[in-house]
Amino acid sequence: MRLSSLTMLVRPVVRSCPAALAALLLLAFGGCAPSFLVTPVNNTADLEEQTVQPGGWGGGKIAIVEVEGMLANARTGALLGGPGENVVSKFAQQLDAAERDSAVKAVVLRVNSPGGTVTASDTMYELVRRFRQKTGKPVVASTQEVAASGGYYVACAADKIVAQPTSVVGSIGVIFEAIEFQDTLSKLGVTTTAIKSGSLKDLGSPWRHLKGDERAVMQQMVDEYFARFVAVVKERRPVTEPVAADLNDYKKDGYAGAFSGRVFSGAKAVELGLADRTGLLADALDEARRLANAPKASAVLYARPFGDGGSIYAATSAPAPQAGVVRLALPEQAGVLPTGFYYLWHP
């Protein structure tokens, strides 16, 4: 067995022991002292293929690729204070595996994400687009609990979107959030000073209020990213609502259409053209088989060692064994997001 790294699983076992040591440990263990059997296990960072839905002989494979959690080109937990895996990196690794394997006839994106940073969402969209262009393999997106904002942005790269009727879908829009402490600090008698090279170098600083001209600059960037999102949806989806000539129309009070930033049920998303049909993940797999002309294809997942498998809904990864670590786990969306631009549904 090739080992990229070595993890030791330690099991207590009973061995014969010297008489002196036995006498000393007799009271503690009620018998002979335990020794330890150390077993090396594979803890490689490579992905392992797991079959989660058998197919017919020679029918090929449909690869299920995750679009899950907060999308960021960083360890997702590290973004908000805890450990985690780089979502973009793993996503690229899974697509590469599906590209290299000639037996993989199609890919199903299992989308369960409220979105994330603008750049991570756009990167993952582009990876899918290039995968389709290079391989000619069809891609079907299957929405789970949430396929909102950046999660939906990535799904738009697929040939078809199959939405569960109760999925939360949409949230087409951009948000920039900044927190300010100036008034709080002033009550404590605390002031801050920034020595800067340009008038906008500390734009978005939490230590002072956002000025009018600064707000205009940030709004311009938000509008730019929003226009990109709208263009993707317009190109990739047969949305029933015509795209406005002036995107400022979507900011008007009372507007609650597809581009208002709101979310819809999966069933409503189909009505609006944001998705193609309703169905479960199994239906999305069948759609991928149909598009790939591979009716007997099995379904596979790419999992890390120690990951959970067994069904098409199984999580594909689990943290590596740790010892001597105290962790404070926070929900991915809890608290205040780091300052930045997000394609994110963050109610």
Which residues are designated catalytic? 149, 201
> Around 18, how many Cα atoms within 13 Å sit in the side-chain half-sphere?
3
- 8 Å CB contact between 108 and 144: no
Give 100-114 as a DSSP string: H-TTEEEEEEEEEEE
The C-alpha atoms of residue 71 and residue 325 are separated, in whole angstroms, by: 26
- The structure tokens listed for 339 are 């300052």
Q: How far apart are CA 216 and CA 214, in angstroms?
A: 5
Tokens for 14, please give them: 């009973």
Q: Provide the pairing of β-strand 139-148 with 104-117.
A: parallel
**Separation of alpha carbons 245 and 45, rounded Å:** 48
Those residues whose C-beta lies under 8 Å from the C-beta of residue 154, and which sit 6 or more positions away, are 67, 71, 109, 111, 113, 121, 124, 125, 128, 141
Whether 263 and 136 have beta carbons less than 8 Å apart is answered as no
